[in-house]
Amino acid sequence: MTDNPDLEAAYRLSGPDGSKQLYAAWAETYDSSFAEDMQYRAPQAVAECYAKISGVSPVLDLGAGTGLLGAALVQQGIEVVDGTDISPQMLVEAEKKHVYQSLFEGDLTQRLEVDEGTYAGIVSSGTFTHGHVGPDALEEVLRCMTSGAWAVLSVNATHWDALGFEDVLKCLAPQIAEWRKDEFALYGAGAKGAHAADTGWLLQMRKA
């Protein structure tokens, strides 16, 4: 991996191996060099949305990274949060926040080491985006959820259109009681750079 660890490099990723290399290099500075500098809003937006529509635990944070979403969930009063990420280095940083009951490595493009129907809620911020995870992983998300559970996933808006998330949701309709999406700004007013004005969708789906 010759790229500097930044948003442009993250968007250029093309598979799990690249993700592991990039986030190994980025883990220790991710919160300051990206989340703070860009006023990254996705973790807080997902946490607030989940708390509003459900708030039930245990919750699994997919692509937990350095634990920003886990911390936001705890602030919203969510009691039991587990996290998984493809990068062990990112999980080391997440552990330092002391907000997760358990953390484990996992690749969402494959089957996770989670029993079917384990979680009363699923959340994710920053994982369903360019170079990372596409809509095919939604079936695995649903497998991990108990009946009636809600998932709240942030999805980069351009990524949503390019990879056909809505078509996949239609194919999964028998497993989904309802779904909706709300648009939000990924970054705050002080963000700078080519992606400062990027938007995302808060995908909310309830398992049948």
CATH 3.40.190.10 given to domain 7-207: no
pLDDT digits (tens, 9 = 90+) for 78-133: 999 999 999 999 899 999 999 999 999 999 999 999 999 999 999 999 899 876 78
* Residue 35: alpha-carbon gap to chain centroid: 14
Tokens of 175: 């497993």
Q: What is the CA radius of gyration of the chain?
A: 16
- Dihedral sign (CA 75, 78, 82, 87): negative
Tokens of 113: 């080491």
Return the percentage of the chain with pLDDT > 90, whole number. 75
CB atoms within 10 A of CB 2: 5
Residue of 199, 177, 180, 179 whose CA lies nearest to 188? 199
Looking at the DSSP assignment, which residues form a beta bridge with residue 61? Answer: 83, 123
Per-residue model confidence (pLDDT) at position 32:
81
Boundaries of every domain in the chain: 7-207
Return the percentage of the chain with pLDDT > 70, whole number. 86
